[in-house]
């Protein structure tokens, strides 16, 4: 299932829980949003389950019976909280920026496919110009379809004029793995986010790493013919 390294030209990253340590902030903003709308707190476990989805799809899962005014109130509360949260509370995972720069310098195209809205992604990219300079294309849930629909990946492949076998998708949730499988893109899981290795494996992950910093070494090992590392070797 692993493509020959010479054929792997595009690395697509999820954002939250994969590159950025933002899970607690997202859960906190969702808790604020439900209180803002006068609804019962759904709890951190339920909030973590929908991370990676677009906000509309997340609300459909968290508040399926909410009417349109209530959903709009939740969205308003979430955006108020997120955009008032200092970016220092959502750091990149250690080593991630250098890893992405290393991959870009090695000749890989770097893209992002995220459940964030465009406004939210642009905000966090603006705080990390060195990382942003490596990303040549991105897709957000509010300009495409939410994961696990594969449309974001299809659009990115079309942008680069590449076949699915030339790309890998790196993410921390089952939504990322299912999206990659549906698009025919190699799914790689990371364990720095919300879902366990067992869940990622069951959703189609070809391999799992502790975090994205293991990726350059994995690419080198596959190029030399070695087996990819276990999930604990990253």
Residue 227: predicted pLDDT: 45
Kindly indicate the confidence band of residue 3, based on its pLDDT and cuts at 50, 70 and 90. Answer: low
The whole-angstrom separation of Cα 231 and Cα 145 is 30
Question: Token pair 């549906």 is at which residue?
Answer: 182
Residue 188 CA, distance from chain mean position: 11
Query: Which tens digits make up the pLDDT trace of 10-60?
Result: 999 999 999 999 999 999 999 999 999 999 999 999 999 999 888 889 998
Structure tokens at 15: 């954002």
CATH of domain 23-88: 1.10.150
**Cβ–Cβ < 8 Å for 139, 156:** yes
pTM of the predicted protein model: 0.90
The pLDDT assigned to 26 comes to: 94
Boundaries of every domain in the chain = 5-21+92-223, 23-88
Separation of alpha carbons 167 and 162, rounded Å: 8
Cα distance between residue 224 and residue 233, in whole Å? 17
CATH class of 5-21+92-223: alpha beta
Q: Given a cut of 50, is residue 190 above it in pLDDT?
A: yes
């Amino acid at each position: 299932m692993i493509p020959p390294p010479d054929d792997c030209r595009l690395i697509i990253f999820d954002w939250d829980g994969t590159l950025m340590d933002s899970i607690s902030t997202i859960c906190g903003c969702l808790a604020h949003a439900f209180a803002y709308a006068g609804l019962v707190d759904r709890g951190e476990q339920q909030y973590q389950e929908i991370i990676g989805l677009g906000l509309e799809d997340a609300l459909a899962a968290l508040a399926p019976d909410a009417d349109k005014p209530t959903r709009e109130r939740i969205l308003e509360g979430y955006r108020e909280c997120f955009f008032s949260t200092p970016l220092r509370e959502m750091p990149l995972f250690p080593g991630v920026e250098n890893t992405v720069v290393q991959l870009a310098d090695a000749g890989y195209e770097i893209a992002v496919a995220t459940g964030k809205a465009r406004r939210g992604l642009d905000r966090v990219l603006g705080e990390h110009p060195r990382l942003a300079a490596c990303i040549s294309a991105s897709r957000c849930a509010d300009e495409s379809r939410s994961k696990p629909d594969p449309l974001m990946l299809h659009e990115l492949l079309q942008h680069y004029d590449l076949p699915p076998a030339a790309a890998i998708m790196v993410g921390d949730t089952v939504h990322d793995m299912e999206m990659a499988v549906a698009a025919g893109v190699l799914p790689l899981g990371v364990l720095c986010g919300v879902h366990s290795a067992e869940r990622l494996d069951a959703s189609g992950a070809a391999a799992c790493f502790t975090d994205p910093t293991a990726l350059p070494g994995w690419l080198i090992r596959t190029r030399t013919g070695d087996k990819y590392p276990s999930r604990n070797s990253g």
